[in-house]
Amino acid sequence: MYLISSHEMLKDAQRRGYAVPAFNIHNLETVQVVARTAARMRSPVILAGTPGTYRHAGVEYLVSICQAAAHEYRIPLVLHLDHHEDEQDIHNKVEAGIRSAMIDASHFPFEENIEKVRSVVTYCHRMGASVEAELGLLGGQEDDLIVDAANAKFTDPLKAAEFVRRTGIDSLAVAIGTAHGLYKEEPRLDFARLAAIREQVDIPLVLHGASGVPEADVRRCIELGICKVNVATELKIAFADAMKAFLGSHPDASDPRQYLVPAMAAMEEVVEAKIRMCMSDNKI
Ligand code: 13P
């Protein structure tokens, strides 16, 4: 099985009123958990890696592991480039077999953002890869991408329409009040802004920073046009907490085939809950 683009997957979600969950993965075990849970629940799924993840695991390793998972579970799998900023880096990874990319030029001025995104779209579409880009600027921290709350910027609906038209992207990441990482207080999402963006833009919309967002709010976002929901932090915490608890109660444990098992089980519970939240189960 080969790795597919997210274009058709997100269009199906848009047509049928659910969202595809995009889970950040880091290594063999995290890919296994996401793929096997998605297969068990018959959910389309996107495996997302930041530049830091690809540096950690190696591009060839991640591509091969994800291909093996698609083959083993017989489900369509997207391996995605999350928050990539370097065009050449995107080219290299598409050449290695990845067919879904986010070019994040959201911190550049509008015209520069358009120019950088359009160039990536031209290349990726020629290669059969889909492209996501962001307009506005999400707060919080994801790897070495840090935006403090004062610099976060919400997406302007009219600019979003122009951005989509002039770049030719397949999906648009919106900034409506979510942030990467943990929230200090409950996020307040700007649903009216999301509805206004939806009125202007007809491609699938993407919600970043879904960890810690109440399920009812995510569901509302899906009703208002969100077709892809990104989750990273909650998975990492579940995995790490279960591993810490196991090692705390088994101080002599040294076998990864033992201490990784409860970590994977804890992560699986979160993946399952997020698939239900996205209403993507039983869609393949
Ligand atoms: P969280 O870590 O807040 O879930 O955000 C994930 C994300 O948006 C990945 O791009």
In the chain the domains, ranked by start, together with CATH numbers, are: 6-278 (3.20.20.70)
Largest Cα separation within the chain, whole Å, is 59
Rounded CA separation 226/171 (Å): 10
37-95 confidence digits (pLDDT tens): 999 999 999 999 999 999 999 999 999 999 999 999 999 999 999 999 999 999 999 99
Stretch 7-29: mean pLDDT: 98
Consult the annotation and say whether 232 binds a ligand: yes
pLDDT value for 145 = 74
pLDDT value for 111 = 96
Q: Give the phi and the psi of residue 22 in degrees, each rounded to 5.
A: -115, 115
pLDDT value for 58 = 97
- Give yes or no for residue 259 having a pLDDT over 90: yes
82 in catalytic set: yes
Q: Give the phi and the psi of residue 227 in degrees, each rounded to 5.
A: -120, -5
- Tokens 């890696």 label which residue? 49
Closest CA to 51 of 100, 12, 97, 86: 86
Mutate to test the pocket of ligand 1, among 172, 213, 229, 230 (most ligand atoms within 8 A of CB): 230
Stretch 211-225: mean pLDDT: 97
Rounded CA separation 40/96 (Å): 28
Rounded CA separation 150/162 (Å): 25
CA 253 to ligand 1 centroid distance, Å: 31
> Which pLDDT band, with edges at 50, 70 and 90, does 1 fall under?
low
pLDDT value for 137 = 82
99-110 confidence digits (pLDDT tens): 999 999 999 999
Angle at 14 between CA 203 and CA 110, to 5 degrees: 25
Structure token digits, residue 48: 């997302």
Rounded CA separation 16/68 (Å): 29
